[in-house]
C-alpha cells in the first residue's frame, strides 16, 4: 500500500498547490482503489498457489516441464537464435532469423510493428479490444511468397516476449486516443490463460494500439509533433488516464517506462535520432499535461530507454542501432541521421532489443 513517504508527498503537493487539492485527493482515492484491487488479486494468486502445493504436482510445474522439453527439442533441431517478427493487425509479414545487417528485399506497408525474440519464445498477444492470448513463437506462420494471415486472434495491437514481462511487474496499455492503463503482470498472465479482456470498460471507438512493459516508476511520452511529458505510473487512474493533453492535429506517438535515470532515444519518421538525458525532463505530478514542442519540424514516432534498437525502414532495411554507437550530433538540437539509413528511405517501425 502507500507508505509514509508517499503520504508526505501528497501532503506537500496539496500545500504547494492548494488550488489543485481537490484533484490531488481524487487522484489519491483512485490510486488507493487501484492498489486495493491489486492487493486482492495478489492475495488470490497466493491462495491458489498454496492450494496447488497441497494437491500434488501443479499445472505450473507441468507447464515448466513441457517448456523444458520444447527447448531441448529446439536445441537438437537447431531452431534457436534471434528471430525477426514483423506483423500487422491481421497478418504476419516477416518471420525469419535476425542478422546484424539484413534486408527484407521489398518495400513494406505502413501498418506494421516489429518484435525480436528467441525462436523458442513464449509470446503474449493483445488485441485492439484488450483481449490477451498466450502463443508460442514456433506456432506463428512463416510467410513464403507473401504475408501469412493470422486468422485468430484478430485485430492484433501488440505482441510481446513473455521473458521480458517476467522482469517487470507492470504492463502499460496505450489506446488510439492516448489513454494509458497500468496493469499487474501477474493479472495479465492469468487473464491471458483464459483469453479474457484486460480492460473491462474500454472506451468505445478507442482501441488499444500498444503495450509497454513497465516498472511502476516514471512514464515518458512523446507526441507526433514533438511534445513530451513525464509522470509517475502510480498516478494512472484505475480506469485509465489521458497521458497528454494535446491540441487538435497532434496525437500520442510513443511511451516508455523508466527504471532509473538514463539517456532516452527519440525517433522521427524521416530517420532522425535524438538523445536526451531523462533527468532533464521535469516530472509532472500526474498524467494529462505536456510541454512545449521539443523537436520542432519533426514527425516523431517513438521514445525508448533501451540501449539497443532494431529498426525497420520503408524500403525493407533492418538496422540494428546501439546507443553507444550514435554520433555526438544526436545530443544536439538538430539530431543525427540513423546510421545505415539510405537517402530517400524512412523509418516505419522499431523495437527495443
Q: Which residues of the chain fall short of a pLDDT of 50?
A: 1, 3, 5, 74-79
What was the pLDDT predicted at 78? 45
Q: What percent of the chain is helix, strand and coil (3-state, nearest 5)?
A: 25, 35, 40
pLDDT digits over 131-162, tens only?
Answer: 999 999 999 999 987 899 998 898 999 999 99
What was the pLDDT predicted at 146? 85
What was the pLDDT predicted at 1? 47
Question: What secondary structure does DSSP assign to 78-132, as a single string?
Answer: T--SEEEEEE-SSEEEEEEE--SEEE-SS---SS-EEEEEETT-EEEEEETT-BE
Strand order in the sheet with 132-136: 132-136, 122-127, 156-161
What was the pLDDT predicted at 19? 65
pLDDT digits over 268-323, tens only?
Answer: 999 999 999 999 999 999 999 888 899 999 999 999 999 999 999 999 999 999 99
Question: Alpha carbon of 65 to those of 38, 58, 68: distances in Å?
Answer: 29, 11, 5
201-221: string of b/e by CB count within 10 Å (b at 16+)?
Answer: ebeeeebbbbbbbbebebbbb
CA distance 235 to 242: 11
What was the pLDDT predicted at 103? 83
Supply the CATH classification number for the domain 81-352: 2.120.10.90
Q: pTM, whole model, 2 decimals?
A: 0.78
Helix (H) or strand (E) holding 350: strand 347-352
What is the distance, to the nearest Å, from the Cα of residue 270 to the centroid of all Cα atoms in its chain? 22
Amino acid at each position: 500500500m502507500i507508505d509514509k513517504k508517499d503520504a508526505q508527498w501528497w501532503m506537500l503537493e496539496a500545500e504547494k498547490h492548494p488550488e489543485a487539492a481537490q484533484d490531488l485527493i481524487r487522484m489519491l482515492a483512485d490510486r488507493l482503489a487501484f492498489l486495493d484491487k491489486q492487493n486482492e488479486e495478489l492475495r488470490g494468486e497466493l491462495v491458489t498457489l498454496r492450494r496447488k502445493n497441497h494437491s500434488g504436482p501443479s499445472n505450473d510445474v507441468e507447464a515448466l516441464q513441457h517448456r523444458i522439453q520444447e527447448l531441448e527439442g529446439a536445441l537438437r533441431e537447431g531452431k534457436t537464435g534471434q528471430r525477426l517478427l514483423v506483423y500487422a493487425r491481421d497478418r504476419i509479414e516477416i518471420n525469419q532469423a535476425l542478422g546484424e545487417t539484413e534486408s527484407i528485399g521489398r518495400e513494406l506497408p505502413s501498418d506494421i510493428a516489429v518484435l525480436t525474440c528467441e525462436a523458442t519464445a513464449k509470446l503474449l498477444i493483445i488485441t485492439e479490444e484488450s483481449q490477451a492470448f498466450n502463443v508460442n513463437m514456433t506456432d506463428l506462420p512463416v510467410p513464403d511468397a507473401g504475408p501469412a494471415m493470422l486468422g485468430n486472434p484478430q485485430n492484433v495491437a501488440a505482441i510481446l516476449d513473455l521473458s521480458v514481462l517476467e522482469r517487470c511487474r507492470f504492463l502499460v496499455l496505450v489506446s488510439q486516443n492516448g489513454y494509458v492503463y497500468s496493469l499487474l503482470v501477474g493479472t495479465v498472465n492469468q487473464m491471458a490463460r483464459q483469453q479474457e479482456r484486460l480492460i473491462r470498460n474500454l472506451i468505445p471507438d478507442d482501441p488499444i494500439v500498444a503495450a509497454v512493459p513497465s516498472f511502476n516508476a516514471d512514464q515518458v511520452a512523446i507526441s507526433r509533433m514533438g511534445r513530451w511529458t513525464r509522470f509517475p505510473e502510480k498516478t494512472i487512474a484505475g480506469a485509465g488516464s489521458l497521458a497528454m493533453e494535446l491540441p487538435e492535429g497532434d496525437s500520442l506517438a510513443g511511451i516508455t517506462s523508466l527504471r532509473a535515470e538514463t539517456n532516452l532515444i527519440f525517433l522521427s519518421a524521416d530517420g532522425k535520432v535524438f538523445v536526451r538525458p531523462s533527468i532533464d525532463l521535469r516530472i509532472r505530478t500526474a498524467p494529462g499535461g505536456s510541454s512545449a514542442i521539443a523537436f520542432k519540424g519533426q514527425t516523431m514516432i517513438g521514445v525508448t530507454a533501451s540501449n539497443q534498437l532494431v529498426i525497420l525502414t520503408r524500403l525493407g532495411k533492418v538496422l540494428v542501432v546501439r546507443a553507444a554507437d550514435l554520433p555526438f550530433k544526436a545530443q544536439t538540437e538538430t539530431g543525427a541521421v540513423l546510421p545505415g539509413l539510405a537517402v530517400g528511405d524512412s523509418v516505419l517501425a522499431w523495437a527495443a532489443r
